Structure 1
Amino acid sequence: MFDRLHLLSPVLLFLPLVIPVPPPGGASPAPCRRCCDDLEPQEGPPAPQTGDQKSGLNQMPEVRTFINMTILKGDKGIRGDRGTPGKSGEEGAPGSRGPMGPKGTKGQAGPPGDPCKTQDAAFSVGRRKSLHSVDYYQALVFDTEFVNLHGHFDMFKGKFYCYVPGIYFFNVNIHTWNFKETYLHIMRNDKEQAIVYAQPSERSIMQSQSLMLPLELNDEVWVRLYKRERENAVYSDDVDVYITFNGYLIKPTLE
């Protein structure tokens, strides 16, 4: 360090000494002026000087920045993705009932139900024509329907079909023919269950037979006229019903 100062000392001796020299005539130098000093002073008492002005220091004016946001506004951005839906709110109170609409058209009939689910059965049929025995057994066919609940009695075959298993009651009423034998059977499937019989007589009479039968699903109950080897017949006419066949379910079988 000492060596560096020793080398710089001769250089410092030759540096010029700058001393301000007053102008000739002894006149004092003109004070500095600003460009705005030429303006005439405002009327009225002079404004009070602050401490900085009294001390000879010039105070800078306050600068406030103003930004025009309309100039800085950019273009509209792309719409963002839809957010996840929030939780459902509480269920509101039910609204008032609206007015009744117009009556609709009648719909089509539905398919037939399962007959096994029907818990009742009944029929009552009659015959208006006489019947004579022939060379073979005949099923007594009926032409008048009084009651045929659910269609369980087949009018073309003269047979009742069991669709509801259970205990049934059956009854047959016939009118005998003068001087002819009356010989019929109440049949369950192909087996005789009870006979309706009357001997030949000069007078015709009403004859009846009743019984109860336990039936299973699809059993058939019908009335059979005996074949010709025993001359027999039943009487009726087109005016009155002399022959009737009735049956109904008393108690269904519980599965």
Structure 2
Amino acid sequence: MLKLYFLEVGALLSLIIPLLVDMETCPATGMPGMPGIPGLPGRDGRDGEKGEKGEPGRGQLAGSLKGQKGNTGPKGSPGKRGQSGEPGKPGLQGEPGLPGEPGETVGLEQQAAFSVARMTSEPPDKGAVILFTKVITDINGDYDTVTGRFRCRVPGTYYFVYHASLERKLCVLMKLDNVIMTTFCDFRQNLRQVTSGGLSVYLSRGQEVWLETKEFVGMTSKPSGYSIFSGFLLHPH
């Protein structure tokens, strides 16, 4: 088909060219020639430059469309540690802690002795610790006049003794950490007298010794007479 097209074009050109030559050599003006055959389509031109970005659309449809939620991506790597913050304000003061264990005793502290008196006009309560509030001697401050107990700081063998003025029946217990070591009882009454008792016992650091009433509390009150509780270290261990 294309070959036939070129043959026809060639035949027309063979007729037109002699006429054109004659027109150039001949001064006379001839009739206008026929229009030529349209040429072949040219090749596509190069792509133009990229245009400027257009303005965002204002349609409601574009903003209302929402795609489906995608799958959760993999966990990222830990980020860098941030800077330390400023120190906070000081907190409230805590409650006092429990008392610590007694410390070791050395040198001149390897001794202990106390002697205290009961200086009250009221007899002791039944089944209660007997309080001796008047301190006569207390080398290391081992006897507590508030609790009525001797607390051992120097381990060793001690001797404890008490003397009580009485007018009625009296029973006194000597206790070591709530264990009854011995009982001293005098069942005379209506007769003023003095009764006493003593005991030697080994104590470890922190153990406590005290006197306690039993059934009868016939201690004589002030000013008829005084009662005294004493103790001292025989040999430290």
TM-score, normalising length: structure 1:
0.49
Q: Give the partner amino acid of 2:177.
A: N
Matched, 1:116 2:105: yes
Q: Give the partner amino acid of 2:187.
A: Q
Change (3 A) 1:231 1:124: closer
Change (3 A) 1:241 1:119: farther
Change (3 A) 1:123 1:222: same
Matched, 1:249 2:236: no
In the alignment, structure 2 segments of 5+ residues that lack a partner are 1-101
Check conservation: 2:124, 2:213, Cα contact below 8 A: yes
Per the alignment, residue 207 of structure 1 pairs with 195
Mapped partners of 1:195, 1:252: distance in 2: 26
Check conservation: 2:124, 2:130, Cα contact below 8 A: no
Change (3 A) 1:137 1:212: same
Aligned positions of 1:1-255 closer than 5 A: 114=103, 116-117=105-106, 118-132=109-123, 134=125, 137-177=127-167, 180-226=168-214, 230-238=215-223, 242-253=226-237
Mapped partners of 2:180, 2:203: distance in 1: 14
Per the alignment, residue 22 of structure 1 pairs with none
Displacement after TM superposition at 1:132 (Å): 3.7
Displacement after TM superposition at 1:115 (Å): 5.3
Displacement after TM superposition at 1:116 (Å): 3.1
SS of aligned partner of 1:233: strand
Please tell me whether Structure 1 or Structure 2 has the larger radius of gyration of its CA atoms.
1
Mapped partners of 1:155, 1:115: distance in 2: 23
Per the alignment, residue 49 of structure 1 pairs with none
Check conservation: 2:129, 2:210, Cα contact below 8 A: yes
In the alignment, structure 1 segments of 5+ residues that lack a partner are 1-112
Change (3 A) 1:142 1:205: same
Mapped partners of 1:191, 1:149: distance in 2: 26
Mapped partners of 1:209, 1:130: distance in 2: 23
Displacement after TM superposition at 1:236 (Å): 2.7
Q: Using the aligned pairs only, state the percent identity.
A: 23
Mapped partners of 2:104, 2:166: distance in 1: 37
Displacement after TM superposition at 1:193 (Å): 1.1
Displacement after TM superposition at 1:184 (Å): 0.7
Q: Give the partner amino acid of 2:157.
A: I
Per the alignment, residue 58 of structure 1 pairs with none
